[in-house]
Structure 1
Amino acid sequence: MPGGLVALLDDVSVIARAAAASMDDISVAASKAGTKAAGVVIDDAAVTPSYVTGLSPKRELPIIWQITKGSLKNKLLILLPGALALSWFLPQAIIFILMLGGAYLSFEGAEKVMEKLEGEKHGKTLEDKIENPAKFEQQRINGAIRTDLILSAEIIAISLNEIATITDSFWVRAAALAAVGIAITVIVYGSVALIVKMDDVGLHLAEKPSALAQSVGRFLLAAMPKLLVALSFIGTIAMLWVGGGIIVHGTHEIGIDVLYNLAHGAEYWAQGVLPGAAGFAGWLAYATVSALIGLVLGAIIAFVLHKVVHMGHGFGKQAEAH
């Protein structure tokens, strides 16, 4: 009996050590995956505030909470099971899904650049008079959740691709993906909530009798528009950098090395020019070339969608009229 108890305790200790090792694996995998997905996370945080801009301040936090819940459903109930099934049954398809997402991010980033240069907006604007506030609010929430689904799919795909290089365990992959999804959602939408309420905090402080509080309040009120502009700029750069980088890596994986050699050639050149800051110089050169590749690819896609397809629709309508 004592021997059986000792054996049982030994088995329990083995299981406990295995569980601890698995948690360590999950932590390492989640950390590495989250770092790789950072560019898309920045874009997600930069894009989301636009969905509550112009709405009642009282509705901002409830709307962000609705979007947060939708984001968690996207990641945990739709994308995570799909990604795990794909990695189990058809892992070779992951790289093509990544490249499709990279092309989409490149298109989104290039479209924003084109809008700035051309001074026009693509698609519908939200400047019309709001006839039904509740319906309008729900449309904004649904639009944000759809955008989140696309960005979350890219985050999950990037994370899975990274986690797959660390562990073959199905459960470790699942736990690491869930950890990445939850952590990123909390970080992104927590940050968004702080950003959109910054002006309210500033206004509140500006009305206080304390000179220090008033000074901080005025600073927050003045900083808010600049912060939103900076986030928009950073988000655009992040989309192009991440999108182009995914295309560079993906084409290399399928045996096409032109873009890969171009990006890494620039990286090695920059490291040689600035040996004292080789790491940063190489990263900056690689990221810049990746962003330019993303910009060119995205501009081609945008041109096809907005010019060629639109022209084809115009010819179709003329033919129907005749």
Structure 2
Amino acid sequence: MQEKNNNELKIFVPKEFNFEENLKYLSRAPNECLFLIKDRRLYKALPIEEETLLIEISADQENVMNIRFIDDTAPSSEWKRAAVVRYVREWFDLDRDLLPFYEMAKTDVLLNGAVDSFYGLRLMGIPDLFEAICWGIIGQQINLTFAYTLKRRLVESFGRLVEYNGDDYWIFPTPNDIAALSVEDLVGLRMTVKKCEYLIDVARLMVEGKLTKMQLLNAENVKSAEKMLVKIRGIGPWTANYVLMRCLRFPSAFPIDDVGLHNAIKHLIGTENKPTKEEIVRLAANWTGWESYATFYLWRFLY
């Protein structure tokens, strides 16, 4: 449900939502380039077809999130206003009922402390499929800090910049922006040749209509969607499940081989050894249908 005036939209959010917890998560990477956080407000440039909107997101009232359009960038039509609301709801996963997850987590040895510490945190998404896949590929086998550096280089080299009041608002490159490039064009990013090839290949698949978000969402189940993704060169099970979590919102997506998940488990159970896959399967026995949220909450202990 939402209320509106010309320059603002109000979204009513679930009780199990804490804007501050989500801002803390979004604030964890100082090198983030796709949004700004200032004075407990979140700012982002959002392209909707030919228009580029600057939005400010805040939550000064309980159970209400406010979207304000900056500098007369209010959408020209009702359907574009609705598209902004859909984007923000998807970004914050606001349509997910977290009560069953919290009920399960209360009795889980790994999750009970996580839900107490991060209550109201949502699995912050990446609604754009191309951005989500690129982020998954960029992050393969490197630390998070370097991944953000590579993403910034990609965005600042091939994305679009909107400047307002001395601040830079970057928009992620589109598949069309990347599909026409060669590996040599990406050399300056200091990314591996293989990753450059993978990004270009994915962009071309999307430009040709051979890979779409709707195709994946229409998959029979999460395993079918994973199989569709891992057929693509450069996408293995970890990247596929990351995309299934962050973009496609399959709650049972489970990047079981994720190093961050392993380190969080080591931290919580107080062991020096990496858990085996069998141990993780045993520890995750109660997470059925909530593997993505369980993973995300455990990640929060580390970053």
The two structures share one fold, judged by TM-score above 0.5 = no
Greater share of helix: 1
Q: Which has the higher contact order (CA 8 A, sep 6+)?
A: 1
TM norm structure 1: 0.26
Greater share of strand: 2
* Bigger radius of gyration among the two: 1
